[in-house]
Amino acid sequence: MKAIHNLFEKVKPNFTDGGKWEKFFPVYDAFETFAFVPGHSAQSGAHIRDGVDLKRTMVTVILAMTPALLFGMWNVGLQHYKALGVADQMEFLDLMIFGAWKVLPMVVVSYAVGLGIEFIFAIINKHSINEGYLVSGMLIPLVMPVDIPLWMVAVSTVFAVVIGKEVFGGTGMNILNPALTARAFAFFAYPSWMSGDKVWVNTGGEAVVDGYSGATILGNLATTGQAGTAYADWGIAEMIIGTIPGSIGETSKIAILLGAMILLITGVASWRIMFFSAVGALTMGLIFNAFAEYAISPEQQAFMAVPYWQHLIIGSWAFATVFMATDPVSGAQTEKGKIWYGFFIGFFGIMIRVFNPAYPEGMMLAILLMNVFAPLIDHYVVEGNINRRTKRLKLANA
Amino acid sequence: MSDTQTLEKKKSEPLFSKKNKKLISNPLNDDNPITVQVLGICSALAITVKLEPAIVMSMSVLFVMGAGNVVISLMRNLIPSRIRIIVQLVVVASLVILVDQFLKAFLYDVSKQLSVFVGLIITNCIIMGRFEAFALANTPWKSFLDGVGNAFGYAWILIAVAFFRELLGSGTLFGIPVLGDPAAKTGLYALGYENNGMMLLPPMALITVGVIIWIQRAKNTKLIED
């Protein structure tokens, strides 16, 4: 620790005013504050004294995502060897190594590209580098299918950071969740790599077992109305544990629950958003169950008749609710607003999922939609509060 | 006799005086109808998937705007101000029908691609805007320059957007493949490159226009509104 501190002190004169690399002060500042608690304090206004700052918050979220990431790596290996029909002969370590070999490059690309852009913008705009990207950079690989080419991850990241975030003024100013912006971009730009039954399981072009299908549960439901196929008949246990094909981080509900607990205990994420997203999803599920007989096709009828509570363990509802909807920047800010915001995310997510076979997973679009509406919800909550209090004032004066 | 001569001399101005040149150059950059006035966005989103229709559209608007501005300017002292919008509409509608018939006769394929958007030139805010704001108050020659200038301002944005959308979305320019053959996997496609499907969707046109606006305002900070 001492050595690192000395190193920082030694190179510091180069970056301060008049130094050789004066322009790159934000880069130095970012590394210094990452390693040590910053020595400067806020200059104006009222502040709360607290050990938690943006960096600690972000690190907590990353910690919460780690179980999903590790499970995702293992599952990538498992699905790969299962497709080749040799999963039984493989050790735990084999699966992990194969998964890490596929997933870690995506994490590295996402961080390198995203942070690179953040650094460039910080240097041009002469502001300090924000930590916001630490979370987005981890989320982006977790919401991508394993087989997507790395350059597509890079292009999506560029789009998300520049158009989704920097044009609005950087961390804290963005309207849309950057990680979901990246996923939406990849989804619409390269649909053949983001949907269908070819991309969720890496087969490496090798011979696969008879009857193999790499479709996700939602993909199967949208096309046939059945969750599983002859190759793999998914039960409730698989959906909860997560040994199913899907985006890297979304499959295991247990790992996500673990992350949710970390976020809730540390108070980083809002329980209102998570809870009411579940309420919304269950409400829509119940509506579908009640009206399943009016479906326009037998496939859709089967999809609508899926027990309402299963929508919480199918697809990415859990991951999106825990890690995406609770983004404090793009979500609703008022406590009452969070209730409506969360509710509609669950509600629309399940609606899009069932009604539109072109979008097998609706959570991405539902959250982006509600991101846009979050300021409006907040506006009406604040207005309502003002009206209530004016009425009370009038009553007291009358 | 001598009085009228001096009067005429005062009036006559070189055809391309500094002021007149400004009428053409301003709309190209600092007073661009699309990126600064934010008019005519609908057509900029709708017909910029490919270069060819974008260029044909630009030419059509160039003709309608140039001719329309001259016609309105010639009639500017005759039009009762109460019904001027109707008169402007009649002028622009007749010109657009001329263009539409011409395209149908000589460029049938492009006309098919542009479909309803040729007719919708009538509702292009830039044209009505220039009639109202300029042609009604200025001489025909100046109005002509103003119309042509604004049409070029509109055109270069359209063509720039269409260039990027066709290149990145379809990998072609004017329908000619420039990045290789996606089906046979030649050229860039052999390296794993793929066309960006989102470039073909209207949101990307909006974002491309937005990026042009961004670059323009970063260069000329006077344009930034609070």
- pLDDT digit string, tens, across residues B74-104: 888 888 888 888 888 898 999 999 998 998 8
A245 in any annotated domain: no
**Which residues of chain A neighbour B197 with C-beta distances below 8 Å?**
188-191
Cβ distance A209 to A84 under 8 Å? yes
Asked if B199 is an interface residue toward chain A (Cβ–Cβ < 8 A), one would say yes
H helix intervals, A49-190: 54-83, 92-125, 132-142, 150-162, 178-189
B19 or A145, which is more confident?
A145
Are A191 and A274 part of one and the same domain?
no
Largest Cα span, chain A: 83
Residue B3 in this model has a pLDDT that exceeds 60 = no
User: Domain tally for chain A?
Assistant: 2
Under DSSP, is residue B92 helix (H, G, I), strand (E, B) or coil? helix
3-state helix, strand, coil in chain B (%, to 5): 75, 0, 25
Among B175, B177, B159, B170, smallest CA distance to B201 is for: B170
User: What pLDDT does A315 receive?
Assistant: 82
Distance between B168 CA and the closest CA of chain A, angstroms: 10
Per-residue pLDDT at B14 exceeds 80: no
- Whether residue A236 lies inside any domain: the answer is no
Tell me the range of A54-63, A246-255, B7-16, B124-133 where mean pLDDT is highest: A246-255
Q: Any residues with CB less than 8 A from the CB of A162 and at least 6 apart, and which?
A: A117
- pLDDT value, residue B176: 82
Rounded CA separation A367/A327 (Å): 10
Least CA distance to A150: which residue of chain B?
B192
The per-residue pLDDT for A223 is 76
Q: Is residue A273 located within the same domain as residue A172?
A: no
Q: Are residues A199 and A259 in the same domain?
A: no
Using the beta-carbon criterion (under 8 Å), do B214 and A149 form an inter-chain contact? no
The helix/strand/coil state of B177 is strand
In a domain, A293, yes or no: yes
- Whether the CB-CB separation of B203 and B48 falls below 8 Å is answered with no
β partners of residue B177: B172
Is A270 part of a structural domain of the chain?
A: yes
Closest CA in chain A for residue B213: A167
Query: Same domain, yes or no, for A267 and A385?
Result: yes
Does residue A85 belong to any structural domain of this protein? yes
Domain residues for A327? 255-398
Q: A320 and A269 in contact (C-beta within 8 Å)? A: no
Residue A323, pLDDT > 60, answer yes
User: 């009016």: which residue's tokens?
Assistant: A294
CA A341, CA B4: separation in Å to the nearest integer? 75
B201 and A CB contact within 8 Å = yes
Please report the sign of the dihedral spanned by the C-alpha atoms of residue B169, residue B174, residue B177, residue B182: positive
B62 reaches A (C-beta below 8 A) = no
**pLDDT tens digits, one per residue of B31-70:** 788 878 778 787 788 888 888 888 988 898 899 988 988 9
- For every residue of A255-290, DSSP letters joined together read HHHHHHHHHHHTT-S-HHHHHHHHHHHHHHHHHHHH
Assigned domain for A114 exists: yes
State residue A182's pLDDT score.
92
For residue A41, name the pLDDT band (cuts at 50, 70, 90).
Answer: low
Q: What is the pLDDT of residue B85?
A: 87
The CA-based diameter of chain B, rounded to the nearest angstrom, is: 80
Q: State how far the Cα of B157 lies from the Cα of B35, in Å rounded to an integer.
A: 8
Whether A244 is in a domain gets the answer no
Asked whether the beta carbons of B157 and B35 are under 8 A apart, the reply is yes
**The amino acid at A310:** Q
If you measure CA to CA, which chain B residue comes closest to A155?
A: B196
pLDDT of residue A181: 92
- pLDDT over 80 at A137, yes or no: yes
SS3 state of residue A96: helix
| B103-to-A93, A109, A246, B61, B107 alpha-carbon distances in Å | 68, 49, 50, 13, 5
- Read off the pTM: 0.84
More confident residue, A61 or A219: A61
What is d(CA B124, CA B191) in angstroms, rounded to the nearest whole number?
43
Averaged pLDDT of chain A: 84
Question: Nearest-CA distance from A170 to chain B in Å?
Answer: 15
Residue A230 has what pLDDT?
Answer: 66
Give the Cα separation of A31 and A48 in Å (integer).
Answer: 25
Q: Does B175 touch chain A (CB under 8 A)?
A: no
pLDDT over 60 (residue A234) = yes
In this complex, do A190 and B194 lie within 8 Å of one another by their Cβ atoms?
yes
Q: Is residue A246 part of a domain?
A: no
More confident residue, B109 or A196: B109
- Confidence label for A185 from pLDDT (cuts 50, 70 and 90): very high
Clarify whether residues A170 and A293 are in a common domain: no
ipTM over 0.85: no
Q: Closest partner residue to A167 among B197, B198, B214, by Cβ?
A: B214
Q: Categorize the per-residue pLDDT at B1 as very low, low, confident or very high, splitting at 50, 70 and 90.
A: very low
As a dihedral over the C-alpha atoms of residue A344, residue A348, residue A350, residue A351, rounded to 10 degrees, the angle is 140
Chain B residue numbers touching A152 (CB-CB < 8 A): 194
The neighbour count for residue A89, using CB atoms within 10 Å, is 8
Taken in order B40, B46, B47, B50, the sign of the CA dihedral is positive
> Mean per-residue pLDDT for A1-5?
74
A343-377 confidence digits (pLDDT tens): 999 999 999 988 887 787 789 999 999 999 999 99
Residues B66 and B23 sit within 8 Å (Cβ to Cβ)? no
Q: What is the pLDDT of residue A201?
A: 81
pLDDT score for A389:
93
According to DSSP, residue A322 is labeled: I
- From the list B193, B197, B214, the residue facing A188 with the nearest CB is B197
Question: Is the pLDDT reported for residue A381 higher than 90?
Answer: yes
pLDDT score recorded for residue A40: 64
Taking contacts as CB-CB distances below 8 angstroms, the residues of chain B near A368 are none
In percent, how much of chain A has pLDDT > 90?
30
Show which of A184, A204, A224 is a domain's final residue: A204
List, in order, residues 6 or more apart from A20 with CB less than 8 Å away: A14
CA distance B86 to B80: 10
Q: What is the nearest CA distance from B192 to chain A, expressed in angstroms? A: 8
Residues A191 and A259 in one domain: no
